[in-house]
Amino acid sequence: MDDVVEETVPGLTNPRVLALDRFLIRLRDGSATQSAWRLAVESDEGQGAIILVEVPPEETFYRAEGVFLGWPQDRLGSAYRALLPKPEADGFHMQQLG
């Protein structure tokens, strides 16, 4: 993936997205398995990840790894949205026949 980020993220110099992966997690107080997104990032300050956990109904929180440790929820959310890779065109084209 290794996408260079055009938007700035305060506290990071030259951030690059390494991977965006979906995985299953289990919360301490829950008996159900949940899904989360892990956005792995590399910057001049080092590597880290922001994990987006969506807990129904419409509750969202972030967990941090590496360079993001200690960041408050609002800052993690802003950084996650800024670093999130932009959707690519799906590449589907209808051929014109005749």
Instruction: Classify residue 92: in a domain, yes or no.
Output: no
d(CA 45, CA 67): 7
pLDDT at 88 over 80: no
Average pLDDT, the chain: 85
Instruction: Classify residue 50: in a domain, yes or no.
Output: yes
Given pLDDT bands bounded at 50, 70 and 90, which one contains residue 60?
Answer: confident
* pLDDT tens for each residue of 5-41: 556 899 999 999 999 999 888 877 777 788 899 999 9
Instruction: Classify residue 93: in a domain, yes or no.
Output: no
Question: DSSP label at 69?
Answer: T
Instruction: Classify residue 30: in a domain, yes or no.
Output: yes
- The confidence score (pLDDT) of residue 93 equals 59
The torsion of the CA quartet 16, 25, 33, 27, rounded to 10 degrees, works out to -120
Instruction: Classify residue 91: in a domain, yes or no.
Output: no
Given pLDDT bands bounded at 50, 70 and 90, which one contains residue 51?
Answer: very high
- The confidence score (pLDDT) of residue 8 equals 81
